[in-house]
Amino acid sequence: MSFGERLSNKVAVITGAASGIGRAISLEFAKEGADVVLSDIDEKGLINVANQIREMGKKAVFVTADATRIHDVEKMLKIALEKFGRIDILVNSIGVLRGGKIEDLSEEDWDFVISVNLKGVFLCSQKIGKYFIENKVPGVIINIASISGILPQVYTGAYSPSKAGVILLSALMAMEWARYGIRVNCICPGPTRTPMTDRYYQGKLREARELAIPLGRFAEPEEIAKVAVFLASSDAKYITGASLPVDGGSLQSMFFLVNYIRELISKEV
């Protein structure tokens, strides 16, 4: 199977599709032949991505939905099945970050980040996982976590714990659902150029983060998207339960990074 066809005849549901990594994955999946169901709370962003996909001559439908609300997740599933008749792939790409020191972290911020980053992944995976099991679909689930879920990134509040939860949840689903032919894998990006990271990494903090990346730069969202295509395709048919860092070598320099950023932020926060 050649590039441009690796996901042909597949239907993919992608959450967090309006911007950042989710947007890039949506466009890349469409280029590879998939019909795409786009989900996010940002309707304007969804319309933009859907129009781009349709301009390619591909099929896309969007659903304005909050992945932390079960009724919205059920609506997303219902519309996907009404439009395309099946689902083969789920990509959970929703994610938020509210940084700060642990001692200053509000209960509201903790609940919000855990709900979006972890509960949202659970609800979407559970609902579509049940669909896969009941309909004997050897489906694929790809969760976007972070290298911050592997080693803690200081002053990111609930972000690191939430992403660690996504990694472990992905492994748990992979083990429980392997007997149904369902594959579940996790991508752990390093710093990636998205609206969220652009807001968080500014000035000296961004310079320090880039210095700590062996390849010397943030990832482009499209570079994460191409890994998602691989994991969704038959090229990865023997891969499940994996957490794949896509980070320019950042994990190898994480201990340096943690100390460097701690010193910088303690002076500025």
Please count the residues of the chain: 269
Helix (H, G, I), strand (E, B) or coil at 100: strand
Is 159 catalytic? The answer is yes
Q: State the CB neighbour count (10 A cutoff) for residue 202.
A: 10
Q: Which of 155, 159, 200, 201 is catalytic?
A: 159
Give the CA count within 13 Å in the CB-facing half-sphere of 267. Answer: 7
- The Cα 238–Cα 173 span in angstroms is 16
Residue 250 · residue 210 · CB < 8 Å: no
- Tell me phi and psi for residue 101, to 5 degrees: -75, 145
Helix (H, G, I), strand (E, B) or coil at 112: helix
- The Cα 157–Cα 2 span in angstroms is 43
Q: State the CB neighbour count (10 A cutoff) for residue 125.
A: 23
Which runs of E-coded beta strand occur in 76-161?
89-92, 140-144
Q: Which residues are catalytic?
A: 159
